[in-house]
A and B are shown apart, each in its own frame.
Chain A
Amino acid sequence: MKAPVKSTSALLYLSGVTVSFDGFRALNNLSLLIEPGEMRAIIGPNGAGKTTMMDVVTGKTRPDAGEVVFDGQSDLTKLDEASIATLGIGRKFQKPTVFESHTVRDNLLLALAGLRSWYKLLSAAPTKAENDRLDEILTIIRMGPQQYMPAARLSHGQKQWLEIGMLLAQNPKLLLVDEPVAGMTDVETETTAQVLREVNKSHSVVVVEHDMSFVRALGVKVTVLHEGSMLAEGSLDQVSADPRVVEVYLGR
């Protein structure tokens, strides 16, 4: 399981990552590899450390120990959120956080890769290329008709898709998607799986999810977390046949 550190071909490389909050080990010696172009589903019961793992990768939480390497060269434990986002890691939160007072289109415009510095934004108007890209994203997330609606008026499912669109607009190398289908109807869940598969054609994706039918619809390699460490890895059928996984999910 031990891999050489910097010579890895992995897009995201976690090794021996440990995080404690007041003595509680949220992550315990966690190791994980994500290959370029891959889509990975991460499952696990509540408190397994899924969200903490996302926090570590995006720079929100500093690990007490361990290595987090992105693209074989960047040590993420030493960077802040903005630098990590600029490197090419985008995150969708569990609770949709879109900019409520802005329109759908403006939300995407803010997320669009490129201009970030305040002094350049003072005089910038959206270019043709930027507008075309916005139209493209609106098509992928199926929200063209709502583009001039304030985000506050969107339904829960629409907000989740807008978030995925905002991630796409950042054009990251890796998308971290936290519980995208929580609270969605079955139809919305199915649509979300389609949207993510489409996103995966051009981007690597890590999805954290509880909903097993959704994970099945994604049809990708699954990692099971338990008490801050990896319990099992493989296809959904393989891991659900694993007695330890069954015990964790059903045994308590």
Chain B
Amino acid sequence: MITRFFWHGLDRYVRVMVAVVLIIGLAMPLLNLLMPQSSPLYVSAYTLQLFGKYLCYASLALAVDLVWGFCGILSLGHAAFFALGGYCMGMYLLRQIGTRGVYGNPLLPDFMVFLGYKELPWFWHGFDSFWFAAPMIVIVPSVLALALGWFAFRSRVTGVYLSIITQAMTFALLLAFFRNDMGLGGNNGMTDFKDILGFSVQAPGTRAVLCFASALALAIFLAISGAIVGSRFGKALTAVRDAESRMRFLGYRVEGYKLFVFVLSAAMAGIAGALYVPQVGIINPGEFSPGNSIEAVLWVAVGGRGTLIGPVIGAFIVNFAKTYLTGALPEVWLFALGALFIGVTLFMPKGVMGLWAQYKARRARPKRTAAA
């Protein structure tokens, strides 16, 4: 049944995209590890880290697109799920430091010693084990999404009101995580990670594996999303997007559909966040800032909302531009971002993925007027 679910659902383009992500995701780390530095094919550690980061962003974009593009839920708080997954990973990584911290305390991470904690807060227990932290990476964002979605969808909060609620959620979390007495590192967050599963996070081999893991996660998310969208569930889902009350009169309990994709999407964002943290080496409350969630929506808009390939392309294009511009012309970046938002809305309503259709339509139009 599972294989049929995947094979029937995936259209050709999504299958190609899964293969492309896997091949490049495998090639980049291998070129980094195996090529000599003098070779033109050599991928530097810096490039590899950037690529790994972009892969995580692409997964986040895909998660946003699944709820926004296919179910019409415009979440302006998806970075919160990403950050929560990241924090779970951060807690695990921090507890791996052990006595190698500045204060050398075998149990308490540095910031707790610094803040005068006498014992480990209750919610830190278990995070020394990867097999506890790993499910938490999925469970924590999912439970939040389930609680939020349960109340919002049952009360029929839709459209801009739902967007505002999700934005408020991530802002509330931002403020909460800034507080030192949350016991999660306050505004400094968590950093100075040493090991993951016994391997040094700085080692080239670990970085290569993390990068590939990010590609693998993205490929799996693409396959899952593709199968869902292609199933009868997916047809119902886009029908909910286009005419929600019509679906209710057909006897569908719309809440169940929305809640399922919202929770699934939050879990995907959480995993992406968890893979992101060891690659960038830090997680702090800034990840909850509302701007991050809005940027994620922009990636989807640039790539093409309601397509599965679009968000991946959009995340890469926008983040590549961001990396380049914040390096070369730092003061220009925010203006470029704003211009991009306006430009995409005005000229590319279907994003990069819609350009081909737009181009074809434009070529067809003069012909028709000539005939008339």
Q: Which A residues form the contact surface with B (CB < 8 A)? A: 58, 60, 80-82, 85-86, 90-91, 93, 97-102, 106, 109-111, 115-119, 121-126, 166, 170
Contact = CB atoms under 8 A, between A and B. Distances in A.
B236 A110 contact: yes
B249 A85 contact: yes
B252 A97 contact: no
A90 B245 CA distance: 13
A99 B232 CA distance: 14
A117 B253 CA distance: 7
B364 interface: no
Interface residues of B, number: 27
Given A118-B256, A121-B231, A121-B232, A170 B251 contact: yes
A82 B233 CA distance: 17
Given A101-B242, A110-B236, A123-B5, 16 more contacts: A85-B249, A85-B250, A98-B246, A99-B239, A99-B246, A102-B239, A109-B232, A110-B235, A118-B236, A118-B257, A122-B232, A122-B233, A123-B1, A124-B231, A125-B232, A170-B251
A115 B252 CA distance: 9
Interface string B215-254: 0000000000000100111011011001101111111111
Contact of A82 (B5, B231, B236, B253): B253
Nearest to A115: B232
Contacts of A80: 248
B362 interface: no
B4 interface: yes
B56 to A, nearest CB: 27
A99 B243 contact: yes
A175 to B, nearest CB: 12
B260 interface: yes
Contacts of A99: 238-239, 242-243, 246
A111 B250 contact: yes
28 contacts: A82-B252, A82-B253, A85-B248, A85-B249, A85-B250, A93-B246, A97-B243, A98-B246, A100-B242, A101-B238, A106-B235, A110-B235, A110-B236, A110-B239, A115-B232, A116-B252, A117-B256, A118-B233, A119-B256, A121-B231, A121-B232, A122-B228, A122-B232, A122-B233, A123-B4, A123-B5, A124-B231, A124-B232
B179 interface: no
B8 interface: yes
A97 B260 contact: no
A210 B212 CA distance: 65
Given A97-B246, A99-B238, A101-B238, A85 B251 contact: yes
Interface of B: 1, 4-5, 8, 228, 231-233, 235-236, 238-239, 242-243, 245-254, 256-257, 260
B232 A166 contact: no
Complex A-B, nearest 7 residue pairs according to Cβ-Cβ distance, in ascending order: A85-B251, A121-B233, A81-B248, A99-B239, A121-B232, A118-B256, A122-B233
Contacts, number: 81
B73 to A, nearest CB: 15
B253 to A, nearest CB: 5
B154 to A, nearest CB: 11
Contacts of A91: 249
B203 to A, nearest CB: 41
B238 A102 contact: yes
Given A82-B248, A97-B246, A123 B231 contact: yes
Nearest to A163: B246
Nearest to B5: A123
B280 to A, nearest CB: 35
A86 B238 contact: no
Given A122-B228, A123-B231, A170 B256 contact: no
Contacts of B260: 118-119
A79 B250 CA distance: 14
Contacts of A124: 231-232
Nearest to B251: A85
Contacts of B249: 58, 81, 85, 90-91
Nearest to B243: A97
A170 B238 CA distance: 19
B233 A116 contact: no
A162 to B, nearest CB: 12
Contacts of B1: 123
Nearest to B258: A118
Contact of B8 (A93, A116, A125): A125
Q: Name the residue in B233, B247, B249 with the highest tally of chain A Cβ atoms < 10 Å from its Cβ.
A: B249
A116 B239 contact: no
Nearest to B240: A99
A106 B230 CA distance: 12
Contacts of A81: 245, 248-249
B72 to A, nearest CB: 12
Nearest to A169: B250
A90 B5 CA distance: 31
Contacts of B232: 109, 115, 121-122, 124-126
Contacts of B247: 110
B250 A170 contact: yes
B16 to A, nearest CB: 23
A86 to B, nearest CB: 5
Nearest to A81: B248
Contacts of A93: 246
Contacts of B253: 82, 116-118
A110 B257 CA distance: 14
